[in-house]
Amino acid sequence: MARTDVAVKKYVVRLSDEERAQLETMLRKGKHPSGRLLKARILLKADASEAGEDWSDSRIIEALATTASMVYRVRKQLVEEGFEAVLTRKKRLLPPVPPIFDGETEARLIALSCSEPPAGYSRWSLRLLEQKVVELSIVPAASDSTIGRVLKKTFSNRIASNNG
């Protein structure tokens, strides 16, 4: 069961005529991701301006089959970040996994791959390079597939293509 509505809402949605028209057009066309369409519906139902419907959160939750936290987050994002922020995806600031190789370590790997292989080997393999970059403290750890990607990216795929 949904929570009961609080008499005073912390984040009140008030849409301009242009914003309301944009949301209604978006819903009519229907060529948008479902999450964005749900946010548009929530904003239209929660709109407390004169032309808005000003539905309670519990009514919105029931009508749109969503959660209280979703309605709260949409209201909060509109008030704190603005109309466009609600309808666009936030860009990730950092990649999910930080890169192992930077410019300097890539250069050292390429120089290593172009050097003579160790005694007893006719050429550098990805696994051999993997062991050597850790041994020489170029990087703390790296897989052979990461080494292959770096070499392929820098067009040093003499090694990457020979180890397919």
Element holding 128 (H helix, E strand):
helix 126-135
Q: Answer whether 0.75 is exceeded by the pTM.
A: no
Distance CA 21, CA 27 (A): 10
Distance CA 133, CA 10 (A): 55
Distance CA 1, CA 77 (A): 24
pLDDT tens string, the chain, 164 residues long: the values are 444 444 457 899 999 999 999 999 999 987 889 999 999 999 999 999 888 899 999 999 999 999 999 999 999 999 999 999 999 988 888 878 888 899 999 999 999 999 999 999 999 999 999 999 999 999 999 999 999 998 887 765 454 455 54
Look-up: residue for tokens 């050292």?
Answer: 108
In 115-156, which residue ranges form alpha helices assigned H by DSSP? Answer: 126-135, 144-153
Q: How deeply is 31 buried, as exposed, middle or buried, from its count of CB atoms within 10 A (0-12, 13-18, 19+)? A: exposed
**CB under 8 Å to 16, separation ≥6 — which residues?**
49
**CB under 8 Å to 101, separation ≥6 — which residues?**
109, 139, 142, 146, 150
At 161, list the tokens. Answer: 């293509």
- CA-closest candidate to residue 111, choices 162, 156, 157: 156
